[in-house]
Each structure stands twice: as structure tokens, then as C-alpha cells.
Amino acid sequence: MAEPALSITGLTKQFGGLPAISDIRLDIMTGERHLLLGPNGAGKTTLFNLICGDLAPTAGSIRLFGNELVGLPPRKRTAFGLARTYQILTLFPHETICRNVMLALNGLRRGKWAAWSAFGSQKGLREEALAVLERVKLADYADRQVAQTAYGDRRRLEIAMALALSPRLLLLDEPLAGLSRDERVTVQDVLGEVPADVTVVLIEHDMDVALAFAERITLLHHGRVVTTGSRADIAADPRTKEVYLGA
């Protein structure tokens, strides 16, 4: 049997004795499109923060392609192929769109900050950034300052910065949040073009979009896994209505 891309065992996080995540056990296979579903406060973003190293777990194991992540700083996890976007945008607003992606690309290079003064002139870096921006349909706006762009363009830029890291596992925290109908369609198209061998885990509250995107779904409630299954399994499970829809 193939090894999971992401394997989580007994993952627990407590804040002052109050459990936010309790004994999470989850395997996600390579290339899978997986949705984390649940109401606000279910623990979805906390789980992402534990995977990425923004939080340290109280107990448990997180293995990415067989590599134990617990105890590693976020930058080390990136080296194993992990990238993410955030529910609240984390961009450099006074830099251009292109330079934001160049910063992401530069983070993969050895001696990346030693040559900061010459950063803008690094050979080929701008061309690489433009190629990434082409993937998210932002190449035409490469030299526009982020602060002067529409919110939907910023969402696409954050996805571009994550893709610039050449991820093997991509975590997307509500990538459609706050977007107009047209912007949602554009971002959905971008997500649909993520290479099939990249494992994608998505948090999204738009049920129609999320269920159409995901192959497997994990339902969380009060920091615990309620159930994991296919779209049909989750849609038919009465616990989905009880937990997520309050029925």
C-alpha cells in the first residue's frame, strides 16, 4: 500500500488545558484533493497551523512523505514540500506583485538573504516569477503594487506565492473568502490547474464549491474528527447536517 502524503496520528493541542484539537488521526494520499469541513471553531485552521509549525502540538505526530514534522520550524517543513495560504492575507502590500513572488522564490535558494541588496538583479528570478504569475493569470499585472490591486487579485497572488515553492502538499485556508462571483470562478479555474501530483487540502465554507473540488472530506467538530469519506458518504451522513448545518 502506498505511503500517505500526510499522516497525522494522535494530534492534540491544548490552550491552558482547553483542547482545541483532540486526538486527530488522518491519512491523506498523494495527489488527493481533500476538504476539511466544519463550522467555525471546529479546529480547521488550528490543524493547518499545527501542520505548518505555526503552533506546536501538545501531543501527536505529523508525517509528511514519511518525514516527522513535529519539532521542526516552518522553514524546514517548506523544504519537505509544504506550502500554504492563510485565511488572512499575508502579502507585502508596498511591493509589486512580481516582487512578492520573487521573494517566495528566493526563499528556496541557498544564501537567500545574504545577497539581499542584489535581490532584484538575481539572474532569472523575475522570469521565474512571471511564469508563476502566468499560471494564476496575473502576469499582466506583474509590476502593479499589491496595495493597488483588487482583493481577488491578492487571493490569486497568495496562491502564486505558495505555488512558487513547488509544493508537494498545498494547504489552502478559505481561498474563496470575500470574493465576488466572477473572482470565485477565476480562482476555481486556478485551483483546477494545480498539477495532479500535488496533494491539496482545502478549508472552504462554500459547500457547492468545496464538494465539487474535493475527492475526500473530513468533517471536524469541536476539534475532533467526526467522519472521513467520499463526497457521497459525507453528503448522505446525517452527522453532516447535524454538525455543519445545525439540522
Which residue type occupies 60? G
**pLDDT computed for residue 109 by the predictor:** 61
Residue tagged 516552518 (cell numbers): 74
Q: List the one residue out of 134, 109, 131 whose CA is nearest residue 122.
A: 109
Residue 46 confidence class, pLDDT cut points 50, 70, 90: very high
Average pLDDT of the residues in 52-70: 96
**pLDDT computed for residue 115 by the predictor:** 46
**pLDDT computed for residue 108 by the predictor:** 65
**pLDDT computed for residue 65 by the predictor:** 95
The domain segmentation of the chain, as residue ranges, is 6-94+158-243
pLDDT digits (tens, 9 = 90+) for 17-44: 888 999 999 999 999 999 998 888 899 9
Asked whether residue 241 carries a pLDDT value surpassing 80, the answer given is no
| Rounded distance between C-alpha atoms, residue 16 and residue 68, angstroms | 25
Average pLDDT of the residues in 127-143: 94
Straight-line distance from the first to the last Cα atom of the chain, in angstroms, rounded to the nearest whole number: 38
pLDDT digits (tens, 9 = 90+) for 191-209: 999 999 999 999 987 777 7
| Rounded distance between C-alpha atoms, residue 42 and residue 36, angstroms | 10
**pLDDT computed for residue 73 by the predictor:** 93
**pLDDT computed for residue 245 by the predictor:** 60
Bridge partners of residue 36, in order along the sequence:
203, 218
The answer for residues whose C-beta is within 8 angstroms of residue 46's C-beta and 6 or more apart is 13, 20, 21, 55, 223
* CATH 3.40.1360.10 is held by the domain 6-94+158-243: no
Strand order in the sheet with 59-64: 18-28, 6-15, 59-64, 67-68
Residue tagged 447536517 (cell numbers): 241
Residue 70 confidence class, pLDDT cut points 50, 70, 90: very high
Residue 117 confidence class, pLDDT cut points 50, 70, 90: very low
Asked whether residue 116 carries a pLDDT value surpassing 60, the answer given is no
Average pLDDT of the chain is: 88
The answer for residues whose C-beta is within 8 angstroms of residue 107's C-beta and 6 or more apart is 75, 78, 165
| Rounded distance between C-alpha atoms, residue 98 and residue 120, angstroms | 11
| Rounded distance between C-alpha atoms, residue 191 and residue 187, angstroms | 6
